[in-house]
Amino acid sequence: MSQHHPLTLLKLGGSIITDKDIPMSLREDVLADLVRQIADARNYLAKNQEQLIIGHGQGSFAHMPAAQYKTMGGFINEESVLGMAIVQDSAAQLNRLVVHACIRHELPAVTFAPSNTLITRERKPAEFFLSLLEAYLDKGLWPVTGGDVLLDYEQGCTIWSTEEVLAYLAIELQKRQRSVKRIIHVTEVPGVLDETGAVVPRLTPENWPRVKKAIGRTKGFDVTGGMLLKVEESLGLLKHNVESLIISGLEPNNLYQALVGKEWRGTLVTAR
């Protein structure tokens, strides 16, 4: 057994905390309510010696310049270097708003920016500074991370989605003897929907091929893939013993219920 506290990785979706149609527009009320639910769960988490890593999507912040400058593909023209800078700035601006919302609830939230702690080569991890993430956790701080633009030794830069960041962190933290229990994806939809529009409560490698056909394009503006990517990352994490919850952040107290182990509504991605 690990001497470290078990971890929940929490993704606040970009489509739920930002207004997807208006550049750089925060849905302050939604963010504040989600952070309030996290803060309400704080005592429960402390009592159970659990810790959280919060990640947020980029919604109408970094996705827009990332699409404009095709930042995922790297330095493709003479505007790309400035484009990378603009994407980092947009991502970091939203990160500040999320951190600040946490601080207003007296959560000791600190930025853990992938753009400052991870370098890739052809989009694969090349160098990283995860000792900082571990040190933050060990000191009782609440890391706040998210999708970001990364320096890439080969192509100049790239984008990692919040899903990619959290999946990477889950696997790396487990290599470091830290137990990652689960990833909770807080979205604007009730979960993964079947062909009738009903929520699929349990999604497994067995029923996925059938459910997959029903998943269309995710609502919202997202250069990094939406629900399909979310589920496929989640299925990939099952072999690392990490389950995923895909839940609505718009249903009252649904996130709180999930955090404190009470009944929640949404989709559980699980091995069987």
Contacting positions for a copy of itself (CB under 8 A): 75, 81-82, 84-86, 88-89, 92-93, 96, 99-100, 102-103, 106-113, 115-117, 119, 127, 129, 131-132, 135-136, 139-142, 151, 153, 156-157
Beta-carbon contacts of 61 under 8 Å, excluding residues fewer than 6 positions away, are: 14, 18, 23, 24, 90, 91, 93, 94
Q: Which of residues 86 and 169 has its CB atom nearest to a copy of itself in the complex?
A: 86
Strands (DSSP E) along 153-195, which ranges? 156-160, 180-187
Rounded least distance, CB 228 to a copy of itself, Å: 31
Helical (H) or strand (E) element with 170: helix 162-175
Take residue 241 and report the two structure tokens written for it. Answer: 């013993």
Rounded least distance, CB 107 to a copy of itself, Å: 8
- CB 131, CB 178: distance < 8 Å: no
Q: Which of residues 84 and 246 has its CB atom nearest to a copy of itself in the complex?
A: 84
Neighbour tally for 81: CB within 10 Å: 13
Q: Which of residues 111 and 253 has its CB atom nearest to a copy of itself in the complex?
A: 111
Rounded least distance, CB 70 to a copy of itself, Å: 16
Rounded least distance, CB 204 to a copy of itself, Å: 38
Number of separate helices (H) and strands (E) present in the chain: 11, 12
Q: Which of residues 75 and 208 has its CB atom nearest to a copy of itself in the complex?
A: 75
Report the C-alpha gap between 272 and 203 in whole angstroms: 8
Report the C-alpha gap between 81 and 98 in whole angstroms: 26
Rounded least distance, CB 128 to a copy of itself, Å: 8
- CB 228, CB 166: distance < 8 Å: no
Q: Which of residues 71 and 244 has its CB atom nearest to a copy of itself in the complex?
A: 71
Rounded least distance, CB 248 to a copy of itself, Å: 28
Q: Which of residues 137 and 245 has its CB atom nearest to a copy of itself in the complex?
A: 137
